[in-house]
Amino acid sequence: MDLDGIDWDALSDGVGRRGFGVTSTPVLDATECDELAATFDNDALFRSTIDMARYRFGEGCYRYYASPLPPLVQELRTETYPRLAPVASAWAEMLGEPSFPPSHAELLERCAAHGQTRPTPLILRYTAGGWNALHQDLYGDVVFPLQFAIALSRPGFDFDGGETLFVEQRPRAQSRGHAVMPAQGYGVVFTTRVRPEMGTRGPYRVAMRHGVSTVTRGDRRTLGIIFHDAE
């Protein structure tokens, strides 16, 4: 795992302007990606498994890790959070909302006080024909405004298609879409629910949803790091 090599200022700037940003360098090496991808098949590591088709979320499967989280997943969640908390608190200030604590442990305490105690990091798997509808990952009253996804599979080798999709719902304007395809080991930081945009009358909220386009071949696996816990 390498978080120190990432240009966090540039990443934060991209998230502020577009609602998402791709890391400048890999977060995980190929071995770490393969090891995490393989955890999908270990039932003992997970608290819940969701078949997307059953709930009309798309086609594919995702699994929420149980507590305690695998060490690498725990480290990613704990060490990435303080690099994003200043951005989250700056957004909250612009929108007139409470700021976020500097440590992830303190955020989890806030979650627990609102009845949110179930861990939310997850791994997602799509095979040919798989896709994920546009959505937001909320889970309760406490919502950290940023989340982190890391590509575990190799686009063009392990799978084709399956772009990560982001759609901004701008007030009084047509929605704007983006599609990104991070290489194996690279991460994407993106808006969980809303981000602030400065208008002529001050800041306003821009909502964002995310999803995955149809995988046309192979096996696509992604690690999702959501910082707030679930009810």
pLDDT at 171 over 80: no
204 vs 124, residue with greater confidence:
124
SS3 87: helix
pLDDT of 199 reads 82
171 near 204, Cβ under 8 Å? yes
Length of the chain: 231
Upper half-sphere CA count for residue 174 (Cβ side, 13 Å): 2
CB within 8 Å of 54: residues ≥ 6 apart: none
Domains of the chain: 8-225 (2.60.120.620)
pLDDT of 187 reads 97
pLDDT of 169 reads 87
Cα distance between residue 141 and residue 143, in whole Å: 6
pLDDT digits (tens, 9 = 90+) for 30-52: 999 999 999 999 999 999 999 99
Cα distance between residue 103 and residue 180, in whole Å: 29
Q: Supply angle C-alpha 139, 145, 151, rounded to 5.
A: 85
Cα distance between residue 95 and residue 89, in whole Å: 10
pTM of the predicted model as reported, rounded to 2 decimal places: 0.95
> Exposure pattern of 21-58 as b/e (b: 16+ CB <10 Å)?
bbbeebbbeeebbeebbebbeeeebbeeeeebeeeebb
pLDDT digits (tens, 9 = 90+) for 81-124: 999 999 999 999 999 999 999 999 999 999 999 999 999 999 99
Q: Would strands 202-212 and 131-135 be described as parallel, antiparallel, or unpaired?
A: antiparallel
Q: Is 179 left (phi over 0), alpha (psi -120 to 50) or beta?
A: beta
pLDDT of 165 reads 98
pLDDT at 173 over 80: no
pLDDT of 68 reads 97
Tell me the CA distances in angstroms from 189 to 54, 105, 156, 204, 225, one per residue in order.
28, 20, 22, 21, 10
